Amino acid sequence: MKGRASAPAKIILFGEHFVVYGNPAILASIDRRITVSARKVREGKVTIKSDIAAGEFEGSTFKLIEGVNARSALDPLYFAAKHALDARKQKTGLEITIKSDIPYGVGLGSSAASLVATIAAIESLLGRPDKKKICESAIEAERIIHKNSSGADCYVSTFGGLIHYSRGGGFKKVDAKSKLSLVIGDTGIKHNTGELVSSVRKLKEANQMAFGGLMSQAKDICNQALAALGSGNIDQLGVLMNESQLLLERLGVSHEKADELIDVARRSGALGAKMTGAGGGGAIIALAANKEDSERIAAGIKAAGFAAFEVEIDPKGLIVG
Ligand code: MEV
């Protein structure tokens, strides 16, 4: 018997970093997924195999199967698995297999999606999965990697679609009047979300007044973006993405390669472009007026020597079974 689940990647359209301090963010799950299967094995042993790391946990011992920094990549997944087993007073061991078509470490939510799908696969093996509880457990496990996680990535991966999220305020689905044509460009530069969030915290502590000003501008942009989505004003949405990028540059979380890709996307006809997620390299998103333009933007980014792909918003979120 196997438990199976899949969870989508995400993009943050507005509000990354500011969402950690209570601001709203607008984010969407996209049509790239992580699929996890879980099966019972002999008591006490939890084996986790993914495309980037594999290892075996037994009590407090860890045996590397393969991968660089495998332990730190697998620890949160093991924590989540143990938590799911303990909550159901289950002593069984587990073999967990993770397959991903989400580029990892570039801000597209691969770690949140792998946690959500892993917990859901185990829950479907052991009992009745509950989305809200899965999301809460995934956030708890994510906080091992980055202790100030806003929870936004786990929410959008679990519940799917285009959402407006704030810490404390939860999430609301956003109805976009027009379909969004979006392109992702990948600098290929892996980042560490925890370190980037800490660097913003230091900046905030060093200059509370200036940070407060950026927070209120970011909130304003997010509110305007919500109105633009509601009225289908795509041009305005693009302008707001460019404004949001300026704020992220002020936080010092963008990267010269991301800036280069944003520039290429804009010169190839994007209505707006910005980094997405924690920054420090990672991925950028560009908004196009239509499908033809998004193809041109993706081609422009590829011609500059980087990976690019068009994406659609995934309405489903977590799928169990
Ligand atoms: C990371 O995808 C988004 C950040 O805002 C961190 C968080 O929300 O926890 C940078």
The per-residue pLDDT for range 126-174, each reduced to its tens digit, is 988 999 999 999 999 999 988 999 999 999 999 999 999 999 999 999 9
Q: Is 107 in the pocket of ligand 1 (CB under 6 A)?
A: yes
Q: Atom 2, ligand 1: which residue's CA is nearest?
A: 277
The response to whether residue 253 sits with its C-beta less than 6 Å from ligand 1 reads no
Structure confidence at residue 127 (pLDDT)? 86
Give domain status of residue 319, yes or no: no
Q: Are residues 148 and 220 in the same domain?
A: no
- DSSP-assigned letters across all residues of 254-280: --HHHHHHHHHHHHTT-SEEEEESS-S
218 with 93, same domain: the answer is no
Same domain? For 22 and 122 the reply is: yes
- Asked if residue 95 and residue 77 are part of one domain, the reply reads yes
Residues 123 and 231 grouped into a single domain: no
Same domain, 156 and 217: no
Q: Indicate if 151 and 87 belong to the same structural domain.
A: yes
Among residues 146, 175, 204, the one where a domain terminates is 175
Q: What are the tens digits of pLDDT across the range 228-276?
A: 999 999 999 999 999 999 999 999 999 999 999 999 999 999 999 999 9
Mind listing the pLDDT tens digit for each residue in 196-209? 999 999 999 999 99
Confidence of residue 278 (pLDDT cuts 50, 70, 90): very high
Residue-wise pLDDT for 9-58, tens only, equals 999 999 999 999 999 999 999 999 999 999 999 888 999 999 999 999 99
Tell me how far apart the alpha carbons of residues 122 and 31 are, in angstroms, rounded to a whole number: 23
Catalytic machinery residues: 153
200 within domain boundaries: yes
Number of separate domains in the chain: 2
Q: In terms of residue numbers, what domain contains 295?
A: 181-311
Is the C-beta atom of 278 inside 6 A of ligand 1? yes
Q: What is the pTM of this model?
A: 0.96
Residue with tokens 């917990």: 119
Whether residue 13 is found in the same domain as residue 132: yes
Same domain, 165 and 188: no
Domain-located, residue 321: no
Count helices and strands in the chain by DSSP H and E runs: 9, 13
Residue 82 belongs to domain with CATH number: 3.30.230.10
